[in-house]
Chains A and B, each alone.
Chain A
């Protein structure tokens, strides 16, 4: 027979234990509130006002109208006026611009003469979802951009075939293969999932099992404990990274364009940073459960705000700033840059610096938190 009293006994005990762990209690309430607010407002899978670099070689008046029309579409925001194609290329490569627009020298003349005028739009399609909305908007551009100019003597141009053509080049991932974008992101997410979690459980486990006391009873120094505890996981991280990259190459034929040095440096910094974060969490958590919860709390923004799931540029500024504090964001850029664009150390610089900063700050905090006494 099922006894209500006995069931109630278990239930009451469970409730008491649930409220006993203050952190768990706080997490139960904070998790939905924080995450809902954060991601409800931050995520937008139709990003607008994407940074656009333009190169205007045309002296005629129509190019200005085309730029205005681009701006009016809401998807493009001219952030840089380039003077050479090389400058455009660099802006795309570094990820400073999502689009590069070239209006060729004879644009106005060709429109007027109806000689098949073209403008060229190069899109950084390493993240296809970030560009798809904007590319769709480009289709409307020829019909609307010059509507006002094509009046009077040129009215015939307005009614005929479109006055010019927009040629879109998808750079880095021309076929918009989602896997190319997902794989680098996955690399960052999987690495942080295993590394942060594994190390965060580490110290908490020593504390729970009571081995912490005998570890502290030895003359071992905090830095020795940290380096000693983390090094095996650096290997784990490297094995995972190589495995994912090899699979990406073999199964999805990811381009692997080069930039190996930047890739290596980025992954190494990211692995060390994730481990240091795990170590920091484990000095804060009293139990393995708490360590686990904190890791999960960190994982969600890593997936959602890093540009892995949703386009980084689609997020409002505050969310982008938040995203910049997350190492996955930067490793994602380094890996995408290397796998899809083949960018070198120079162009990956800002992301590598951000990762280095993360390692230093989190590592220092972890050292400061570590206690050599039981106080």
Chain B
């Protein structure tokens, strides 16, 4: 079925200098999506340049999956504008699908087909040339050549994800959208998976990956933190941490972790959370924070100031949001 009218064209760039290293692979503004009464994504906008790995973080139900699906054309935005790979995000979803790899949150290859059959199917629906060669290369890359006839459903979680990644990148996409690709995968498999993602980015692929893992967020070139359908923070991990204006203290020593309960709610302490036996206490007002912890700054606890982690920042962001919401409701 031929699409009516002229074939979709990439929107011409105003400045030729945009191409190359600083080319905007994703450039969208004001995306909105509602499901019934739920406004899942609000005025979402993001710019991602070629070759970058952009981490998508946020609590469950933040709208990460919905956003990825909209960028890919699996969901039609209610409103908004912009381009993905130069194609109109609202109109050219078929063109976008051809050039973007998408890996679903849930394993979505055919469990009752073999590894090789799944890859062959993917190669065929993308009408790839040199199909055998590409499938063979993917099998070799995965190290699954010997197990090519094994049913995909019998693979372990880590292998399933690697196979899904191989399938999503088989057609050589310029942009890869990964929806929580490593959920429920053991640490070693996660590491292998991320090495592959970095390998792909090094070869010029742009990657947008949603995750809940902070260590993964730190492996991204840049991150976007989303909650309640809005982008709350954006930039490299360092930029996000700097922008938060947080001051964080560590307390180590016997019973440190149990202090969290007492410190919470104290003026100046915006967040107190135990990490194992270590306590993290954060706040934006240094003086107030130091005053708050002063009574506890004694032996046997050892206090030290430390750089806030992404996790500290994110918890802070959620608290801010909840406080703002509570204030709005009270008003």
For B110, list chain A residues within 8 Å (CB).
Answer: 211
The smallest C-beta distance from B117 to any residue of chain A, in angstroms, reads: 13
- Least CB distance, A287 to chain B, in whole angstroms: 16
Distance in Å from the Cβ of A347 to the closest Cβ of chain B? 37
Min distance, Cβ B326 to any Cβ of chain A, angstroms:
33
Known: A217-B74, A373-B73, A373-B75. A210 touches B126 (CB 8 A): no
- Chain B proximity of A231: nearest CB distance (Å): 14
A209 in the interface, Cβ–Cβ < 8 Å?
Answer: yes
Q: How far is A216 from B76 in the complex, measured between Cα atoms in Å?
A: 13
| CB contact list, A327-375 vs B, under 8 A | 372-375
What is the number of residues of chain A that contact chain B, defined by CB distance less than 8 Å? 17
**Which of A218-226, A235-243, A312-320 sits within the interface?**
A218-226
Known: A210-B104, A211-B108, A374-B69. A218 touches B75 (CB 8 A): no
Nearest Cβ in chain B — how far from A353, in angstroms? 27
Residues from 172 to 227 in A contacting B, C-beta threshold 8 Å: 209-214, 216-221, 223
A102 to B127, alpha carbons, bound, how many Å? 67
Q: Given A223-B1, A373-B73, A373-B75, are A218 and B97 neighbors across the interface (CB < 8 Å)?
A: yes
B75 close to A375 (CB less than 8 A): yes
Q: Taking the complex as formed, is B200 at the interface, i.e. its CB lies under 8 A from any CB of chain A? A: no
Nearest residue, chain A, Cβ from B100: A217
Which of A209, A211, A220, A374 is the one whose CB lies under 8 Å from B74?
A374
Closest-by-CB residue of A relative to B95 is A219
Contacts of B102 in A (CB 8 A): 214, 217
Instruction: Assess the A218–B106 pair: CB atoms within 8 A.
Output: no
Q: Say whether chain B's binding surface is mostly helix, strand, loop, or mixed.
A: loop
Q: Say yes or no: A219 contacts B98, CB within 8 Å.
A: yes
Quick one: closest B residue to A209, CB to CB? B111
Q: A219-B94, A219-B97, A223-B1 are in contact. Are A214 and B75 (CB under 8 A)?
A: no
Once the chains are docked, how many angstroms separate the CA of A213 from the CA of B109?
Answer: 9
By beta carbon, the residue of chain A nearest B74 is: A374
A43 to chain B, nearest CB (A): 42
Q: In the complex, what residues of B have CB within 8 A of residue A214's CB?
A: 102, 104, 108-109, 167
Whether a CB of chain A sits under 8 angstroms from the CB of B206 is: no
Known contacts being A373-B75, A374-B75, is A217 close to B107, with CB within 8 Å? no
Is residue B125 within 8 Å, beta carbon to beta carbon, of the partner chain?
A: yes
Contact B74 A373 (CB under 8 A): yes
Q: How far is the CA of A212 from the CA of B110 in the complex (A)?
A: 10
Check if B108 sits within 8 Å of A375, measured CB to CB. Answer: no
6 intermolecular pairs with C-beta atoms under 8 Å apart = A209-B111, A214-B167, A219-B127, A221-B1, A373-B73, A373-B76
The 5 A-B pairs at the shortest CB distance, nearest first, are namely A214-B108, A218-B125, A210-B106, A217-B102, A210-B108
- Sample of 15 further A-B pairs with CB below 8 A, known A210-B107, A214-B167, A372-B93: A209-B111, A211-B109, A213-B104, A213-B108, A217-B72, A218-B97, A218-B125, A218-B126, A219-B94, A219-B97, A373-B73, A373-B76, A374-B69, A374-B75, A375-B76
